[in-house]
């Protein structure tokens, strides 16, 4: 079984842009937004994925991801429940770790969220100076929820 251990933080200021290296545009939608099991379709640049995630417990959840032909993903996005979430993901290195900074677009424009994937929930990591408040447990920042209750409407 695949496991994802992830912590999420708001981003403060523009300091994250300096260490940002690669960026990828994402379009993602949800075939199921049930908190017990989300099913996501994602176009990530030239690649596409179907991802199934289990319920979150702390910062951990089951995760299974499968690559799809991009044409299939385009058709599946049309079947999704709610609007598609658009964002640009920037990879930022800091103190030996890779942070993913999501710069949301469209109805979620203005939202910047940094995520770090860990090997265990208690793994230590250094906080970059541009890291703001932790929102790991705040359901408003779950992408499946941002699809139907966008940031600009809060």
Domain boundaries, the chain: 3-153
Give the active site residue among 30, 66, 141, 151.
30
CB 2 within 8 A of CB 65: yes
Task: Say which residue the tokens 């937004």 belong to.
Answer: 33
Residue (of 92, 96, 94, 106) closest to 27 by Cα position: 106
In CATH, which superfamily holds the domain spanning 3-153? Hypothetical Protein Pfu-838710-001 (2.40.320.10)
Known catalytic residue: 30? yes
Average of per-residue pLDDT values in the chain = 95
- Percent of the chain exceeding pLDDT 70 equals 99
| Global confidence as pTM | 0.94
Average pLDDT over residues 134-147: 96
């Amino acid at each position: 079984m695949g496991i994802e251990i992830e912590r999420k933080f708001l981003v403060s200021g523009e300091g994250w842009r300096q260490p940002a290296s690669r960026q990828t545009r994402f379009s993602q939608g949800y075939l199921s937004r049930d908190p017990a099991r989300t099913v996501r379709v994602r176009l990530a640049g030239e690649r596409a994925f179907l991802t199934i995630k289990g319920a979150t417990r702390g910062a951990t959840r089951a995760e299974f991801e499968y690559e799809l032909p991009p044409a299939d993903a385009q058709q599946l996005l049309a079947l999704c429940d709610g609007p598609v979430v658009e964002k640009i993901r920037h990879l930022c290195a800091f103190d030996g770790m890779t942070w993913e900074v999501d710069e949301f677009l469209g109805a979620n424009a203005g939202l910047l969220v940094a995520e770090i994937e860990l090997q265990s929930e208690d793994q230590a990591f250094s906080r970059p100076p541009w890291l703001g408040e932790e929102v790991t447990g705040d359901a408003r920042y779950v992408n499946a929820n941002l699809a139907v209750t966008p940031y600009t409407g809060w």
